[in-house]
Amino acid sequence: MNILLSNDDGFMAPGINHLRQQLINYEGVNHVITIAPDRDRSAASNSLTLDIPLRITQQGEHIYSVNGTPTDCVHLALTGLYENEEPDLVISGINAGANMGDDVIYSGTVAAAMEGRNLGLPALAVSIASHHPVYFDSAAKAVIDLLSKLPALSSPSPVTKENSATILNINVPDIPWEQIRGFQATRLGKRHKAEPVIRARDPRGAEIFWVGPVGEEADAGEGTDFYAVQHKMISVTPIHIDLTQYSAIKETGDWLCNV
């Protein structure tokens, strides 16, 4: 298996480097290329850089940084860096901080995985549920365990006729591996409305704003990603790119006929 590894915390982040080493040491992986932002680009979502040129800088053997977003990194890799055989899988992470519920809308970690899927590859987004993680080993082991199971996900879904779980959003509790109670298939939970922006003044007295904290958990019951992580389980949520609200198509068509 050949893997493209990216993230949104930057190529020097401990999470991506820890996972890279574990993937290299895993006998089921033949080759790993790391391409990640040259600095922290958290919450960059799915943005592409179109107003300035992008530069790829080699930072080590099969390690590259890009002066752009996580989506830029995966896009450049899959449309330019790979000259011959493309990778079998895109992995984004390990991110410092959970990406659950509404977080996936803004997450650069999830966006990098989405870009891999958008360009035709299965992808994993991997996060550890702490902004100051201690147990990267637990998240890395979760990835290694899932790699051996991935071929079983290749069967098409009877609903979509596509691969049933081509993007997996994985969130791992920041606890020792022996305390983790296993994997759980989940859906995205939901947060309350975000907290208000924080107003401040710059040194010249002009008003400035900081984006406020995320909202507290609202829909966090059994079956959600929030619930799984809170109960010491690894949350695995299948997500997809199609944003169509299929249940509303007929209603929308009826409304249009009456306009």
Does some domain include residue 200? no
Does some domain include residue 208? no
- Kindly give, in sequence order, each residue whose CB lies less than 8 Å from that of residue 2, ignoring residues fewer than 6 positions away: 29, 30, 31, 32, 33, 85, 86, 87, 88, 89
Name the pLDDT band for 154 (thresholds 50, 70, 90): low
The parent domain of residue 64 ranges over 2-190+217-257
Does some domain include residue 209? no
Joined together, the tokens standing for residue 192 give 């309350």
Whether the pLDDT of residue 84 is over 50: the answer is yes
Joined together, the tokens standing for residue 88 give 């079998």
Q: What is the mean pLDDT of residues 142-161?
A: 69
| Percent over 90 (pLDDT), the chain | 81
Does some domain include residue 210? no
Q: State pLDDT tens for residues 88-108.
A: 999 999 999 999 999 999 999
Whether the pLDDT of residue 182 is over 80: the answer is yes
Q: State pLDDT tens for residues 23-80.
A: 999 998 999 999 999 999 999 999 999 999 999 999 999 999 999 999 999 999 999 8
- Kindly give, in sequence order, each residue whose CB lies less than 8 Å from that of residue 104, ignoring residues fewer than 6 positions away: 110, 169, 188, 239
Whether the pLDDT of residue 171 is over 60: the answer is yes
Q: What is the mean pLDDT of residues 211-225?
A: 86
Joined together, the tokens standing for residue 39 give 């600095």
Partners of 126 in beta bridges? 170
Does some domain include residue 26? yes
Residue 102's CATH number: 3.40.1210.10
Overall domain count for the chain = 1
Q: Respond yes or no on whether the N-terminal peptide bond of residue 144 is cis (omega within 30° of 0).
A: no
Whether the pLDDT of residue 155 is over 60: the answer is no
| pLDDT at position 96 | 97
- Say if residue 256 is exposed, middle or buried (CB neighbours under 10 Å; 0-12, 13-18, 19+): exposed
Does some domain include residue 169? yes
| pLDDT at position 218 | 80
Does some domain include residue 196? no
Q: What is the pTM of this model?
A: 0.90
Task: Point out the least confidently predicted range of 58-72, 94-108, 153-167, 198-212.
Answer: 153-167
Q: State pLDDT tens for residues 233-246.
A: 999 999 999 889 99
| pLDDT at position 7 | 98
Does some domain include residue 173? yes
Name the pLDDT band for 159 (thresholds 50, 70, 90): very low
Name the pLDDT band for 158 (thresholds 50, 70, 90): very low
Q: What is the mean pLDDT of residues 148-161?
A: 58
